[in-house]
Amino acid sequence: MKQLSITNMCFWSELCVGHGDDLLYLFDALSLGGESTPLTSLTDPVDRQVRDQFTDLVATFARTGEPMLAGRRVKPFTAEGGDYMVVNSTPTVAQGFRRCQMGLWAGLTNVLKSPECNFLQLGALVGSLEGLTKGVTTTLTNTTAGLTNATAGLTSGLGGLLGGGGGGGRAPQRPLLGLG
């Protein structure tokens, strides 16, 4: 069986660390009897070092509410900056975490047009999408204005259909179907 190091990056073709596997840095995986298991115990000294550092990061965040690395506050992740922590044997802060993918998911056309995202070859598509969204926005705005104009004459009680006002100075109308 292949021994996995949780500090190594891997690609889709290899066995990888998955979502939630970071909990092994905080809690040892134990058998149902509460004993360490050979397949999940951290034996590599670097893995143990990373676990200690990760545990410190989580504990500091729980205690202070601030993400800290080497005693310095880490800026929150934003679409513009994209700062993120790289947790390995020498933790650091890096920028631009999956910038092009994030730009695509969030529809950030300025990011998708950037030189670093040219490999996606989305230049023409981004221009089309910008035009499309402007057209959709205009259509929705005009439709909303039309609906507002169509209902402008109605007052409380839907013009008297449900009782109340809307009679235009006339005697109050009885509610439709006696619903009032």
- pLDDT value at position 1? 40
- pLDDT value at position 36? 80
Which band of pLDDT confidence, cut at 50, 70 and 90, is reported for residue 146? low
Encode pLDDT of 118-141 as tens digits: 777 776 666 665 555 555 556 666
- pLDDT value at position 63? 93
- pLDDT value at position 2? 47
Encode pLDDT of 23-79 as tens digits: 766 777 778 888 887 777 778 899 888 888 888 888 999 999 998 988 889 888 776
- pLDDT value at position 112? 80
Encode pLDDT of 92-123 as tens digits: 998 878 888 778 777 777 778 888 787 777 76
Q: What is the pTM of this model?
A: 0.48
Q: What is the 3-state secondary structure (H, E, C) of the chain?
A: CCCCCCCCCCCCCCCCCCCCCCHHHHCCCECCCCCECCCCCCCCHHHHHHHHHHHHHHHHHHHHCCCEECCEECCCCCCCCCCEEECCCCCEEECCCCHHHHHHHHCCHHHHCCHHHHHHCCHHHHHHHHHHHHHHHHHHHHHHHHHHHHHCCCCCCCCCCCCCCCCCCCCCCCCHHHCC
- pLDDT value at position 32? 84
